[in-house]
Structure 1
Amino acid sequence: MKTEFASIRWRERDVSIEYIRIAPERTHAPHIVFLHEGLGSVAMWKDFPQQFCDAGGYRGLVFSRPAYGQSTPRDEDERWDVDFMHRQAHEVLPAFFHAIDLHEKPWLFGHSDGGSIALLYAARFPHAVAGIVVLAPHLFVEDVTVANIEEARKAYETTDLPQRLGKYHDSADSAFWGWNRIWLHPPFRQWNIEAELDAIQCPVLAMQGIDDEYGTLEQIRGIARRVPQTQLVEIRDCGHSPHRDQPENVIVAALNFIEQNRSLQP
């Protein structure tokens, strides 16, 4: 797969977005857009998007948000605010889709922060999405989430975590501190997107590990209470990254969901 770059204008500067296309020759197949976690990137997904698209005969699009992977890093003095995921969903994603001429309705496949961004995009642009699959998304901030993000900060400062993250990001500091500082910023404890989910009209599959160290099952159960067309999958022996802990279960559930809902769409 060839790495490509798209240029968008965001936060009053030009930003380069790293992305790869999977099987673009499958022109009539569903188009799956993968949205990575809070410390993720194109490389951090490893081969899961390829496996998933090959299993379903789909096309795929995998990209790194600004500050991650090979996309433009944060400026040293750039601090994200409480609305950072809203800005990704409402500003970056539409600009990126426009830059690469993606005008069809994609299926969004988001993990963790990427899952929250997928939900926010589907709520703001309800007619622009065929459906969404979210793994361990965040709807609100829980004590367990903050506690483990605090532990991640300590690990970043005292272990080889920067070197390990450096395998997946041109600037590990850009990726880590952008994510870590806002999640530990006291006003962020009030962040909550539950009410916004009422606007979602597309089908939703929400999956989460029962042993998720970054959130309780109330995160996905909250989606089902707000969005009646939601299917829930709670996965045993699984932590915060279902696609790494239980990839076969995730692939089977997501493929069944997409195929069932494709047959219902015009």
Structure 2
Amino acid sequence: MTGATETDIANISGAAIEYRLIAASDPSRPTLIFLHEGLGCAALWKDFPDQLCQMTGCAGLIYSRLGYGGSDPCDLPRPLDYMQQEATVTLPQILAHFEIENFTLVGHSDGASISLIYAGSNRVPAPRAVIAMAPHVFCEDISVQGIRIAKRAYDQADLKTKLEKFHGMNTEIAFRGWNDAWLDPEFRHWNIESYLPPITAPVFVIQGLEDNYGTLTQIDAIESAVDGSFRKLLLPGCGHNPWSEKRDIVRGAIATFLGDVG
């Protein structure tokens, strides 16, 4: 791992939240808020946020949601609307705590869905733009299949050991909270498409064409529903982690998008 990755702890609404700040080289630029995937945390972004902030002049805020990384644990089972709750309750508290009003959301997987929910919730302050990597706006069969495979890797292979390096005592909570929610039969009805039409901020979606958690149907649904400008980048030979698997391409495309939207 390279880049500055030391984290701090903030007390937000009585809970310890692990976070990392990156200073802006251009204070007029928006702060990039990095929202991690269902098994992610602040540290798992590695130095991608640092590189992107350096390219764009933006400040950055990376944080671990409750139950992840060095943040406080959370109760299990997670509610099936945990992404909606993160977007409409916790994320506004995070923004208020750090007094951030000029920002762009950069989300991956669950974090991408949280970004879209926030942007479509008429929250104030509104994001300048949304960058959604491997987003999902409803539950597909391929999503459930991929999550079942992850469960086997956790229970029978080395996924748990790999996650423990980043989540420590939160490892079981991080995995079960995400995995059990998605495998709950009721989660088949999970759908956030109603949040898309109110989105007026520019949206940039990045999707790997070999993603084993979602298809282009997700991207088509977002493109057809959002009210603001829409841009997409479809990456051949890329799975569920575009920012990691195609780092240079993704970093450059995001920098261009941010330059265009201001």
TM-score range, shorter chain: over 0.9
Note if contact 1:6-1:100 (Cα within 8 Å) is conserved in structure 2: no
1:33 aligns with 33
The CA deviation at 1:218 is: 1.1
Aligned ranges 1:1-266 → 2 under 5 Å: 1=4, 2-9=6-13, 14-24=14-24, 26-75=26-75, 78-102=76-100, 104-125=101-122, 128-170=126-168, 171-228=170-227, 229-262=229-262
- Is the partner of 1:163 in helix, strand or coil? helix
- Report the AA paired with residue 179 of structure 1: W
- What is the TM-score when the length of structure 1 is the normalising length? 0.92
Letter of the 1:213 partner, please give it: N
Q: Give me the whole-angstrom Cα distance separating, in 2, the residues matched to 1:24 and 1:70.
A: 24
CA contact (8 A) 2:24 2:57 kept: no
Q: Give the secondary structure class of the aligned counterpart of 1:168.
A: helix
Q: CA offset at residue 74 of structure 1?
A: 2.1
Q: What CA distance in whole angstroms lies between the structure 2 residues aligned with 1:40 and 1:116? A: 14
Q: In the aligned structure 2, how far is the partner of 1:95 from the partner of 1:165?
A: 27
How far the C-alpha of 1:196 sits from its partner, in A, is 1.7
SS of the residue aligned with 1:199? coil
CA distance in 1, matches of 2:18, 2:24: 16
Equivalent residues, number:
255
Shift of 1:195: 2.0
Query: Could you give the per-residue CA deviations for residues 130-159 of structure 1, whole angstroms, max 9, x where no partner exists?
Result: 001000001100001101101111111111
The 3-state SS of whatever aligns with 1:110 is strand
Identity %: 41
- The alignment's C-alpha RMSD in Å is 1.3
Q: Which runs of 5+ in 1 are unaligned?
A: none
Unaligned runs of 5+ in 2: none
